[in-house]
A and B are shown apart, each in its own frame.
Chain A
Amino acid sequence: MTLLDFARGPAMQIAIIIFVLGIFWRLVGVWALRQKKDLSEPRQKGAWIGGIKGLFVHAWPYKPFVPKVGTQYIVGYIIHLGLFIVLIFGTPHMLFFADIVGFTWWTLPGGVITAVSVITLVALFVALAKRLVNPVQRLISNFDDYAAWFLTTAPFVTGLMTKMNLWPHYETGLAIHILSVWLLLIYFPFGKLMHSFWFVVSRYTTGSRFARRGGMS
């Protein structure tokens, strides 16, 4: 079995099992906790509307905060959009998913994907530099923050190398790219990458709690 066979075979299966079970465990571990009912008389009905609203209002900082964190949000959006575009609209990726879901879709030309990847990589390095230089972020960061950064960045680096044929041996290079993705999936449930799930839960929780009272959202 070549490294590529391993990457496309057992490695993938193991990674996906850990990914799915890990996420399930972590979400259920929190949701299973009991929560005392709030008996106070709500100011208004329909707390869930506030919860839904909360999902959206925190997607961009409120006006007084824009001068302070606006740029950071833009960098964040570039990273996440880049991730999404490359993953869904890159032709090799689409073909990979098409195998699973059984249908194909429109993709972006390879050159565009390369450009998006480079921009995303730059944004990732800007985020890392900020984390290392900004005294606040530096103080509150831990191993997880750097691990998550590394594991998100690795597929971009190895993917670009595959695309540009920079590996001494193409197939092994591709295998490394694929394995870097499985590593990301394996780590995903155990650290902050889970924020892609928690953000829904947390924003909804605050949104609905305070919609009940009035005040902040």
Chain B
Amino acid sequence: MSNKTVTEIELDLESKRLSVRKPEERFDVQGEMSDDERIEKAMLNFAKDFGRVSATYMESCIHCGACAHACPFYEASGDPRHTPIWKIEPFKQAYKREAGPLAFVYKTLNLKPKVTVDELKNWQELLYDTCTMCGRCTLICPMSIDIATLVGMARHAMFHAGLVPHELYTVTEKAFKEGSPLGATPQVFEDRIEWMGDEHEVEMHVDEDQADVLVLMSSIEIQKYPESMAATAKILNHMGKSWTFRTDGYEATNFGMLSGNTAWQKDMSMKIINAAEKIGAKLVILPECGHAYQALRWQGANMYGKPLPFQVQHISEFLADAIDAGAIKLKTLNKSVAFHDPCQVSRRGGATPAPRKVLEALGVEQRETESGGNMNLCCGGGGGVITIHRADTLRYKIMGNKFRQLDATGAEMMVTSCSNCRQNFDDSGEKLNWGKEMNSLLELVADNLVEEAK
């Protein structure tokens, strides 16, 4: 394939999952660079955030192969190339050759050959199509290696070497040019807030000068699940909170983080941080989005260079606290519920107990899946995988396994708290005739709010 960068493709707003249309011809290599340049860029950017932690992980693998059995992709495909640690093999090779304490031995004796561009091209599929960075492999690894973090670093390298899948590159470019990966520009955002305010008759707060709470949304909610905005507004109004949306800081997804461009990542986080500081916010509420939680809750302060001057909560944590404090009361829902844990919020984010508290307050009978909570099986759509058309077949197969686990609980209702997971359930559910629906925890709470309590 040529090095041409014909990446412009239109958004596909009809499909259940939000991505660009299927490219007629794929351009999975970007920019004009010589092979040597690509390798150099890849290695430089891989090494950039390399520290003691990643080096320890690079040293520790004993090639036992256990990690394969925790990975939803390997479990669905049975392809040994989908073994988690194999996904970073070229980078492990480069580390041993160029950076590790024994690099001089490997290099002088040429024990580890130099990584080539062809090798990296072959690994594109392994790094982007078959890993959601869900972190399940760490649970099974006898050495506790955090492979997801290493995959993230390898992706940074690939991005700078211009070796990103076509669709993913296109959305990232859109995010950079338009401020939103999926067409949720400030104008679209404002229009949709107004629409939801009218439709649900809730009072919306936009661009207030002063507020205690800043509420963010991700492109997926704005475009696919705008009811989230109404639901959040309804609950916050009911609690009598001083809150606002800000058109100068609303996009919770961070494509700088996704694409591995730290300068962009910082820009995007700073937009939010500045908006929050301007209005004197004490709390920033993140929407039902796993990746946003990683970006602001766990990486925000590191971008800012000091601790954040406000608290950051995922909406499920906010709801759990509100229930604990008696600030909201919920009607009892006489149903059995199975909860799907979004990997980045639960296993890799630590907010696992919050949704369970909320469900308890709803009085439902909670049914855990066979491997639930921090052990949860990833839906297979995170980490941008859902945008890649080439990855569809395997993604549906993973979802097949997921459906079986959920169905086995016999629960009447399925709930999650990540809209990216949710759109994957919607898309795959349609494809595989699941016949059930994945619900939003937030919307469930809003729908069952006891309003006369005030």
Partners in one complex: yes
Nearest B residue (CB) for A192: B62
Counting CB contacts under 8 A, is A38 at the interface? yes
A39–B143 CB distance below 8 A:
no
> Are A58 and B143 in contact (CB-based, < 8 A)?
yes
Expressed in whole angstroms, the Cα–Cα distance for A136 and B77 within the complex equals 12
Return B347 CB to nearest CB of chain A, in Å.
5
CA distance A139 to B79 in the complex (A): 10
Is A61 an interface residue, CB under 8 A from the partner? yes
Please name the residue on chain B nearest to A34 by beta carbon: B51
Segment of A10-18, A64-72, A154-162, A164-172 in the binding face: A64-72
Q: 0/1 per residue, B301-319, Cβ < 8 Å to A?
A: 1101111100110000000
Is A96 part of the contact surface with B, judged by Cβ < 8 Å?
A: no
Q: Is A45 an interface residue (CB 8 A)?
A: no
A25-B101 in contact given A30-B55, A33-B55, A39-B306 (Cβ < 8 Å): yes
Please tell me if A141 contacts chain B, counting CB pairs below 8 Å. Answer: yes
For B78, the closest partner residue in chain A by CB is: A135
Cβ of A47 to closest chain B Cβ, rounded Å: 12
B86: CB under 8 A from chain A? yes
Residues of B at under 8 Å CB distance from A? 49-53, 55-57, 59-66, 68-70, 74, 80-81, 83, 85-86, 89, 100-102, 105, 111, 135, 138-146, 297-302, 304-308, 311-312, 346-352, 370-371, 374-375
0/1 interface trace, chain A 48-69, chain B, CB 8 Å (1 if under) = 0000001000110110110011
In the complex, the answer to whether B86 meets A40 with C-beta atoms within 8 Å is no
Assembly CA distance A206 to B374 (angstroms): 14
* Min distance, Cβ B299 to any Cβ of chain A, angstroms: 7
- A141-B63, A213-B350 known; 18 new pairs, CB 8 Å cut-off, are A25-B101, A29-B100, A29-B101, A35-B53, A36-B51, A39-B302, A41-B308, A62-B375, A64-B370, A72-B64, A134-B65, A137-B63, A137-B64, A137-B65, A139-B81, A202-B57, A202-B60, A215-B351
A203 to B80: give the CA distance in the assembly, Å.
25
User: Beyond A58-B142, A215-B374, is A35–B101 a contact (Cβ under 8 Å)?
Assistant: no
A192 to B83, CA, bound (A): 19
Contacts of A61 in B (CB 8 A): 66, 140
A26 touches B139 (CB 8 A): no
What are 20 A-B contacts defined by CB distance under 8 Å? Answer: A29-B100, A29-B101, A35-B53, A39-B304, A40-B299, A40-B300, A40-B307, A62-B139, A62-B375, A65-B69, A139-B83, A140-B83, A141-B63, A201-B60, A202-B56, A203-B143, A206-B146, A207-B144, A209-B146, A214-B350
Query: Is the beta-carbon distance between B144 and A206 smaller than 8 angstroms?
Result: yes
Minimum distance in angstroms from A79 CB to a CB of chain B: 12
Give the chain B neighbours of A36 by CB distance below 8 A.
49, 51, 302
By a CB distance below 8 angstroms, the chain B residues around A192 are 61-63
Task: Name the distance in Å between A198's Cβ and chain B's nearest Cβ.
Answer: 4
- Per-position contact with B for A166-207: 1 when CB-CB < 8 Å, else 0? 000000000000000000000000101011001101110111
Interface residue SS majority, chain A: helix
Kindly list chain B residues whose C-beta atoms are within 8 Å of the C-beta of A43.
Answer: 350
Q: Which residues of chain A in 55-107 are interfacial with respect to chain B, using CB atoms and an 8 Å cutoff?
A: 58-59, 61-62, 64-65, 68-69, 72-73, 76
Contacting pair A54 B144 (CB below 8 A): yes
**Contact A140/B85 with A33-B51, A202-B56, A202-B144 known, Cβ cut-off 8 Å:** yes
Q: A26 and B101 in contact (CB under 8 A), knowing A35-B53, A40-B300, A207-B144? A: yes
- Measured between beta carbons, the chain B residues less than 8 angstroms from A69 are 66, 69, 140
- Known contacts: A65-B70, A137-B63. The answer to whether A216 contacts B52 by CB under 8 A is no
The reply to whether A201 and B56 contact each other, CB–CB distance below 8 Å, is yes
A101 to B348, CA, bound (A): 47
Q: What separation, in Å, do the CA atoms of A190 and B106 have in the docked complex?
A: 10
| A contact residues around B69 at 8 Å (CB) | 65, 68-69
Counting chain A CB atoms within 10 Å of each CB, the highest count among B65, B66, B139, B370 belongs to B65
